Amino acid sequence: MLDAFLDSLKYDADGLVPAVVQDDSNGDVLMVAYMNRDAVKQTLTTGRACFWSRSRQKFWIKGETSGNIQVVKSVYVDCDKDCFVVKVDQTGAACHEGFRSCFFRQVDSEGKETVVLERLTESY
């Protein structure tokens, strides 16, 4: 049954689907990352958020080196089966720049960026 679901997904030309990662407790968007078939399968079967790094071209488990793990609470697929929402319990910073969320800069109508979150840790 899991293989049939994985086969039904609409992967992009690189074999990836985007995943919006949200804090399960408050709905905050923590990050957007990409999943290949194996990352989707591992996320669903292990309960740990897994992704495909487009920059490093490799599979990764969120928090495997930093300790800032994401325990998966629920996974939703959209109507076109080409995007996920993954709700997680986040430990520490989700962002590699040390912020709880990757969306820590607010942009105004003139394009000015303002940091609106406190850095939790130094970047890693």
Assigned domain for 18 exists: yes
Q: Which domain holds residue 19?
A: 2-93
Assigned domain for 81 exists: yes
Neighbours of 71 (CB within 10 A): 15
pLDDT in tens, 4-31: 999 999 999 999 999 999 999 999 999 9
How confident is the model over 31-58, as a mean pLDDT?
Answer: 98
Residues sharing a CB contact under 8 Å with residue 7, sequence separation 6 or more, in sequence order = none
pLDDT in tens, 48-60: 999 999 999 999 9
| Six-digit token string for 48 | 């740990």
Assigned domain for 108 exists: no
Neighbours of 93 (CB within 10 A): 25
Residue 40: what are its φ and ψ, rounded to 5°? -60, -50
Assigned domain for 86 exists: yes
Question: What pLDDT, on the 0 to 100 scale, is given for residue 123?
Answer: 59
Q: What is the CATH number of the domain that holds 83?
A: 3.10.20.810
Question: What pLDDT, on the 0 to 100 scale, is given for residue 121?
Answer: 82
Assigned domain for 124 exists: no
pLDDT in tens, 71-88: 999 999 999 999 999 999
Assigned domain for 99 exists: no
Total count of domains within the chain: 1
Claim: this prediction has a pTM higher than 0.85? yes
Whole-number Cα distances in Å, 118 to 13, 29, 115 = 37, 15, 8
Residues sharing a CB contact under 8 Å with residue 25, sequence separation 6 or more, in sequence order = 89
What is d(CA 29, CA 112) in angstroms, rounded to the nearest whole number? 21
